[in-house]
Structure 1
Amino acid sequence: MLKKLLLFILVIIVVMQFFPPAENTSDTTPPTDLFKVEKVPETVEATLVTACYDCHSNKTNYPWYASIEPLSYWLANHIDEGKKHLNFSQWNSYSPKKKAHKLEEISEAVTEGWMPLDSYTLIHKEAKLTEAQSKAVADWAQMLHLKYQLKDLPQ
Protein backbone atom coordinates (compact mmCIF):
# COMPACT_ATOMS: atom_id res chain seq x y z
CA MET A 1 0.00 0.00 0.00
CA LEU A 2 2.81 2.42 0.89
CA LYS A 3 4.57 1.63 -2.41
CA LYS A 4 1.41 2.47 -4.36
CA LEU A 5 0.98 5.73 -2.48
CA LEU A 6 4.62 6.74 -3.09
CA LEU A 7 4.32 5.79 -6.77
CA PHE A 8 1.13 7.87 -7.05
CA ILE A 9 2.84 10.88 -5.46
CA LEU A 10 5.82 10.48 -7.79
CA VAL A 11 3.54 10.35 -10.84
CA ILE A 12 1.75 13.50 -9.67
CA ILE A 13 5.06 15.34 -9.22
CA VAL A 14 6.28 14.24 -12.66
CA VAL A 15 3.02 15.36 -14.30
CA MET A 16 3.23 18.70 -12.49
CA GLN A 17 6.55 19.39 -14.26
CA PHE A 18 4.58 19.84 -17.49
CA PHE A 19 2.13 22.39 -16.02
CA PRO A 20 4.09 25.11 -14.26
CA PRO A 21 2.31 28.21 -12.95
CA ALA A 22 2.62 31.48 -14.87
CA GLU A 23 5.69 33.49 -13.99
CA ASN A 24 5.49 36.99 -12.53
CA THR A 25 7.73 38.69 -15.08
CA SER A 26 7.50 41.87 -17.06
CA ASP A 27 9.91 43.36 -19.58
CA THR A 28 8.86 46.92 -18.82
CA THR A 29 8.25 49.02 -15.75
CA PRO A 30 4.67 50.33 -15.82
CA PRO A 31 4.02 54.06 -15.42
CA THR A 32 2.20 53.23 -12.16
CA ASP A 33 5.35 51.80 -10.55
CA LEU A 34 6.49 53.36 -7.28
CA PHE A 35 9.84 54.44 -8.74
CA LYS A 36 8.14 56.18 -11.68
CA VAL A 37 5.83 58.31 -9.52
CA GLU A 38 7.69 58.91 -6.26
CA LYS A 39 11.06 60.36 -5.40
CA VAL A 40 12.86 57.47 -3.71
CA PRO A 41 16.42 57.83 -2.41
CA GLU A 42 18.86 55.53 -4.23
CA THR A 43 19.71 53.57 -1.09
CA VAL A 44 16.03 52.97 -0.31
CA GLU A 45 15.31 52.03 -3.93
CA ALA A 46 18.16 49.50 -3.90
CA THR A 47 16.85 48.02 -0.64
CA LEU A 48 13.28 47.77 -1.94
CA VAL A 49 14.43 46.07 -5.15
CA THR A 50 16.63 43.60 -3.27
CA ALA A 51 14.30 42.82 -0.37
CA CYS A 52 10.75 43.56 -1.55
CA TYR A 53 10.20 43.67 -5.31
CA ASP A 54 10.35 39.90 -5.92
CA CYS A 55 7.09 39.41 -4.02
CA HIS A 56 5.60 42.91 -4.14
CA SER A 57 5.83 43.89 -7.82
CA ASN A 58 5.09 42.55 -11.28
CA LYS A 59 8.71 41.56 -11.81
CA THR A 60 10.21 38.64 -9.92
CA ASN A 61 13.79 37.47 -10.29
CA TYR A 62 13.36 33.73 -9.98
CA PRO A 63 15.96 31.53 -8.27
CA TRP A 64 17.18 28.31 -9.87
CA TYR A 65 14.75 26.14 -7.92
CA ALA A 66 11.70 28.02 -9.21
CA SER A 67 11.33 25.63 -12.13
CA ILE A 68 11.03 22.59 -9.88
CA GLU A 69 7.51 21.49 -9.12
CA PRO A 70 5.86 21.71 -6.62
CA LEU A 71 8.19 24.52 -5.40
CA SER A 72 7.10 26.75 -8.28
CA TYR A 73 3.48 26.50 -7.10
CA TRP A 74 4.52 27.47 -3.58
CA LEU A 75 6.49 30.44 -4.94
CA ALA A 76 3.63 31.52 -7.21
CA ASN A 77 1.23 31.45 -4.28
CA HIS A 78 3.68 33.38 -2.11
CA ILE A 79 4.10 36.06 -4.80
CA ASP A 80 0.34 36.30 -5.41
CA GLU A 81 -0.25 36.80 -1.68
CA GLY A 82 2.50 39.42 -1.49
CA LYS A 83 1.06 41.35 -4.42
CA LYS A 84 -2.44 41.22 -2.89
CA HIS A 85 -1.11 43.06 0.15
CA LEU A 86 1.15 45.49 -1.71
CA ASN A 87 2.10 45.79 -5.36
CA PHE A 88 4.73 48.44 -6.00
CA SER A 89 4.09 48.09 -9.75
CA GLN A 90 0.54 49.35 -9.20
CA TRP A 91 1.46 52.05 -6.67
CA ASN A 92 -0.07 54.97 -8.55
CA SER A 93 -3.40 53.19 -8.90
CA TYR A 94 -3.84 53.31 -5.09
CA SER A 95 -5.81 56.15 -3.51
CA PRO A 96 -3.91 58.62 -1.30
CA LYS A 97 -5.56 57.03 1.74
CA LYS A 98 -4.45 53.54 0.70
CA LYS A 99 -0.93 54.79 -0.06
CA ALA A 100 -0.73 56.36 3.41
CA HIS A 101 -1.85 53.08 4.98
CA LYS A 102 0.62 51.01 2.93
CA LEU A 103 3.48 53.34 3.85
CA GLU A 104 2.56 53.01 7.52
CA GLU A 105 2.65 49.21 7.11
CA ILE A 106 6.01 49.33 5.32
CA SER A 107 7.53 51.35 8.14
CA GLU A 108 6.10 49.01 10.75
CA ALA A 109 7.14 45.88 8.85
CA VAL A 110 10.80 46.81 8.53
CA THR A 111 11.04 48.37 11.99
CA GLU A 112 9.54 45.32 13.69
CA GLY A 113 11.44 42.95 11.39
CA TRP A 114 8.56 40.87 10.06
CA MET A 115 9.43 41.87 6.50
CA PRO A 116 11.11 40.57 4.53
CA LEU A 117 9.90 37.17 5.64
CA ASP A 118 12.37 34.80 7.28
CA SER A 119 11.48 32.16 4.68
CA TYR A 120 12.67 34.60 1.97
CA THR A 121 15.85 35.80 3.69
CA LEU A 122 16.81 32.22 4.52
CA ILE A 123 17.62 31.68 0.85
CA HIS A 124 18.13 35.31 -0.21
CA LYS A 125 20.76 36.43 2.31
CA GLU A 126 21.18 39.78 0.51
CA ALA A 127 17.56 40.63 1.37
CA LYS A 128 18.16 40.54 5.12
CA LEU A 129 18.01 44.18 6.16
CA THR A 130 20.66 45.82 8.27
CA GLU A 131 19.61 48.28 10.97
CA ALA A 132 20.66 51.15 8.70
CA GLN A 133 18.60 49.80 5.78
CA SER A 134 15.55 49.25 8.01
CA LYS A 135 15.87 52.77 9.41
CA ALA A 136 16.29 54.32 5.94
CA VAL A 137 13.22 52.53 4.57
CA ALA A 138 11.15 53.31 7.68
CA ASP A 139 12.17 56.99 7.67
CA TRP A 140 11.39 57.31 3.95
CA ALA A 141 8.03 55.57 4.36
CA GLN A 142 7.09 57.79 7.30
CA MET A 143 8.02 60.94 5.38
CA LEU A 144 5.98 59.89 2.35
CA HIS A 145 3.17 58.76 4.66
CA LEU A 146 2.82 62.34 5.93
CA LYS A 147 2.56 63.60 2.35
CA TYR A 148 -0.37 61.27 1.66
CA GLN A 149 -2.06 61.99 4.97
CA LEU A 150 -2.03 65.67 4.07
CA LYS A 151 -3.42 64.94 0.60
CA ASP A 152 -6.31 63.07 2.18
CA LEU A 153 -7.35 65.99 4.39
CA PRO A 154 -10.48 67.88 3.35
CA GLN A 155 -9.73 71.13 1.57
Structure 2
Amino acid sequence: MKRKVLIGLGVVIIVFIIIQFIPGQFNQSKQASANNIAEVYSMPQDVKAILKKDCYDCHSNNTNYPFYAHLQPMRLMLDRHVRNGKDELNFDEFATYSERKKRSKLRAISTSLDEGTMPLPSYLLIHGDAKLTSKDKMLIKSWIRSASEAGNE
Protein backbone atom coordinates (compact mmCIF):
# COMPACT_ATOMS: atom_id res chain seq x y z
CA MET A 1 0.00 0.00 0.00
CA LYS A 2 2.73 2.46 1.00
CA ARG A 3 4.69 1.54 -2.13
CA LYS A 4 1.68 2.28 -4.38
CA VAL A 5 1.22 5.69 -2.77
CA LEU A 6 4.91 6.51 -3.28
CA ILE A 7 4.77 5.38 -6.92
CA GLY A 8 1.62 7.45 -7.49
CA LEU A 9 3.23 10.49 -5.87
CA GLY A 10 6.35 9.98 -8.00
CA VAL A 11 4.25 9.87 -11.17
CA VAL A 12 2.45 13.08 -10.19
CA ILE A 13 5.77 14.83 -9.54
CA ILE A 14 7.23 13.65 -12.85
CA VAL A 15 4.13 14.79 -14.76
CA PHE A 16 4.27 18.17 -12.97
CA ILE A 17 7.91 18.60 -13.99
CA ILE A 18 7.24 17.57 -17.59
CA ILE A 19 4.32 19.98 -18.05
CA GLN A 20 6.58 22.86 -17.04
CA PHE A 21 8.12 22.55 -20.51
CA ILE A 22 4.83 23.28 -22.27
CA PRO A 23 5.29 26.82 -23.58
CA GLY A 24 2.81 29.52 -22.71
CA GLN A 25 1.84 32.45 -24.88
CA PHE A 26 2.38 35.52 -22.79
CA ASN A 27 0.11 38.41 -23.73
CA GLN A 28 2.62 41.25 -23.58
CA SER A 29 2.89 43.86 -26.29
CA LYS A 30 5.95 46.09 -26.39
CA GLN A 31 4.14 49.08 -27.86
CA ALA A 32 1.00 51.09 -27.23
CA SER A 33 -1.86 50.29 -29.55
CA ALA A 34 -3.08 52.92 -31.99
CA ASN A 35 -6.45 51.12 -31.84
CA ASN A 36 -6.91 51.59 -28.09
CA ILE A 37 -10.32 52.70 -26.83
CA ALA A 38 -8.73 55.94 -25.55
CA GLU A 39 -7.89 56.77 -29.18
CA VAL A 40 -11.55 56.34 -30.17
CA TYR A 41 -13.21 58.21 -27.32
CA SER A 42 -12.09 61.06 -25.14
CA MET A 43 -11.47 59.48 -21.75
CA PRO A 44 -10.72 61.11 -18.39
CA GLN A 45 -7.49 60.04 -16.69
CA ASP A 46 -9.31 58.52 -13.72
CA VAL A 47 -11.37 56.26 -16.01
CA LYS A 48 -8.22 55.26 -17.94
CA ALA A 49 -6.52 54.39 -14.66
CA ILE A 50 -9.47 52.28 -13.45
CA LEU A 51 -9.72 50.36 -16.72
CA LYS A 52 -5.97 49.78 -16.83
CA LYS A 53 -5.78 48.58 -13.22
CA ASP A 54 -8.94 46.49 -13.13
CA CYS A 55 -9.68 45.39 -16.71
CA TYR A 56 -6.61 45.41 -18.94
CA ASP A 57 -5.03 42.18 -17.64
CA CYS A 58 -7.72 40.19 -19.45
CA HIS A 59 -9.04 42.73 -21.96
CA SER A 60 -5.94 44.20 -23.64
CA ASN A 61 -2.80 43.15 -25.48
CA ASN A 62 -0.67 43.61 -22.38
CA THR A 63 -1.22 41.48 -19.29
CA ASN A 64 0.64 41.99 -16.02
CA TYR A 65 1.13 38.40 -14.96
CA PRO A 66 1.17 37.28 -11.33
CA PHE A 67 4.04 35.29 -9.85
CA TYR A 68 2.34 31.95 -10.46
CA ALA A 69 1.96 32.53 -14.21
CA HIS A 70 5.25 30.77 -14.89
CA LEU A 71 4.02 27.48 -13.42
CA GLN A 72 1.94 24.98 -15.31
CA PRO A 73 -0.97 24.27 -15.23
CA MET A 74 -1.66 27.84 -14.01
CA ARG A 75 -0.05 29.32 -17.12
CA LEU A 76 -2.39 27.37 -19.41
CA MET A 77 -5.41 28.45 -17.36
CA LEU A 78 -4.31 32.10 -17.47
CA ASP A 79 -3.66 31.89 -21.22
CA ARG A 80 -7.20 30.59 -21.72
CA HIS A 81 -8.74 33.26 -19.48
CA VAL A 82 -6.88 36.06 -21.25
CA ARG A 83 -7.73 34.68 -24.71
CA ASN A 84 -11.41 34.43 -23.76
CA GLY A 85 -11.36 37.93 -22.26
CA LYS A 86 -9.78 39.41 -25.38
CA ASP A 87 -12.23 37.57 -27.62
CA GLU A 88 -15.08 39.16 -25.69
CA LEU A 89 -13.59 42.68 -25.46
CA ASN A 90 -10.13 43.98 -26.31
CA PHE A 91 -9.56 47.60 -25.33
CA ASP A 92 -6.39 47.68 -27.49
CA GLU A 93 -8.35 46.70 -30.62
CA PHE A 94 -11.46 48.79 -29.94
CA ALA A 95 -10.89 51.14 -32.90
CA THR A 96 -11.11 48.17 -35.27
CA TYR A 97 -14.67 47.37 -34.17
CA SER A 98 -17.63 48.51 -36.26
CA GLU A 99 -19.65 51.41 -34.86
CA ARG A 100 -22.43 49.00 -33.96
CA LYS A 101 -20.02 46.70 -32.13
CA LYS A 102 -18.46 49.65 -30.26
CA ARG A 103 -21.89 50.72 -28.99
CA SER A 104 -22.72 47.13 -28.08
CA LYS A 105 -19.47 46.73 -26.13
CA LEU A 106 -20.05 49.98 -24.23
CA ARG A 107 -23.54 48.76 -23.27
CA ALA A 108 -22.08 45.40 -22.23
CA ILE A 109 -19.52 47.13 -19.99
CA SER A 110 -22.30 49.12 -18.36
CA THR A 111 -24.41 45.98 -17.88
CA SER A 112 -21.50 44.06 -16.35
CA LEU A 113 -20.99 46.94 -13.91
CA ASP A 114 -24.67 46.86 -12.95
CA GLU A 115 -24.63 43.09 -12.50
CA GLY A 116 -21.23 42.95 -10.81
CA THR A 117 -19.97 40.28 -13.18
CA MET A 118 -16.63 41.95 -13.90
CA PRO A 119 -13.94 41.56 -12.84
CA LEU A 120 -14.53 37.83 -12.51
CA PRO A 121 -14.80 36.54 -8.94
CA SER A 122 -11.95 34.10 -9.66
CA TYR A 123 -9.73 37.06 -10.65
CA LEU A 124 -10.68 38.95 -7.50
CA LEU A 125 -9.55 36.05 -5.30
CA ILE A 126 -5.92 36.88 -6.09
CA HIS A 127 -6.34 40.51 -7.19
CA GLY A 128 -8.53 41.91 -4.43
CA ASP A 129 -7.44 45.45 -5.29
CA ALA A 130 -9.19 45.08 -8.66
CA LYS A 131 -12.63 45.13 -7.03
CA LEU A 132 -14.49 48.10 -8.44
CA THR A 133 -15.86 50.54 -5.90
CA SER A 134 -19.22 52.24 -6.30
CA LYS A 135 -17.34 55.40 -7.24
CA ASP A 136 -15.31 53.52 -9.90
CA LYS A 137 -18.50 52.11 -11.40
CA MET A 138 -20.17 55.52 -11.37
CA LEU A 139 -17.18 57.14 -13.12
CA ILE A 140 -17.05 54.47 -15.82
CA LYS A 141 -20.82 54.53 -16.41
CA SER A 142 -20.81 58.33 -16.57
CA TRP A 143 -18.00 58.20 -19.12
CA ILE A 144 -19.87 55.55 -21.15
CA ARG A 145 -22.96 57.78 -21.24
CA SER A 146 -20.97 60.78 -22.43
CA ALA A 147 -19.00 58.68 -24.96
CA SER A 148 -22.23 57.19 -26.31
CA GLU A 149 -23.83 60.63 -26.63
CA ALA A 150 -20.77 62.20 -28.24
CA GLY A 151 -20.26 59.31 -30.64
CA ASN A 152 -16.96 58.84 -32.36
CA GLU A 153 -14.64 61.82 -31.87
| TM-score, with structure 2 as normaliser | 0.89
- Which of 110, 113, 119 is residue 110 of structure 1 equivalent to? 113
CA RMSD of aligned residues (A): 1.6
Which sections of structure 1, spanning at least 5 residues, go unmatched?
Answer: none
Match of 2:53 in 1: 50
Give the Å deviation of 1:73. Answer: 0.6
Single out whichever of 19-28 and 53-62 deviates more from structure 2: 19-28
Looking at structure 2, the residues matched to 4 and 123 of structure 1 have their Cα atoms a distance apart, in angstroms, of: 33
Give the Å deviation of 1:15. Answer: 1.0
1:64-114 deviations in whole A, cap 9, x for unaligned?
A: 111111111111100000001000110000000000000000011112211
Q: Secondary structure at the match of 1:74?
A: helix
Q: Comparing both chains, which one has the higher relative contact order based on Cα–Cα distances under 8 Å and sequence gaps of 6 or more?
A: 2
Which sections of structure 2, spanning at least 5 residues, go unmatched?
Answer: none
Give the Å deviation of 1:5. Answer: 4.2
Identity %: 37
| TM-score, with structure 1 as normaliser | 0.88
**Does the CA-based 8 Å contact 1:116-1:127 persist in structure 2?**
yes
Match of 2:136 in 1: 133
Give the Å deviation of 1:6. Answer: 3.8
Q: Secondary structure at the match of 2:58?
A: coil
- Which of 82, 86, 91 is residue 94 of structure 2 equivalent to? 91
- Counterpart of 2:111, as a letter, is E
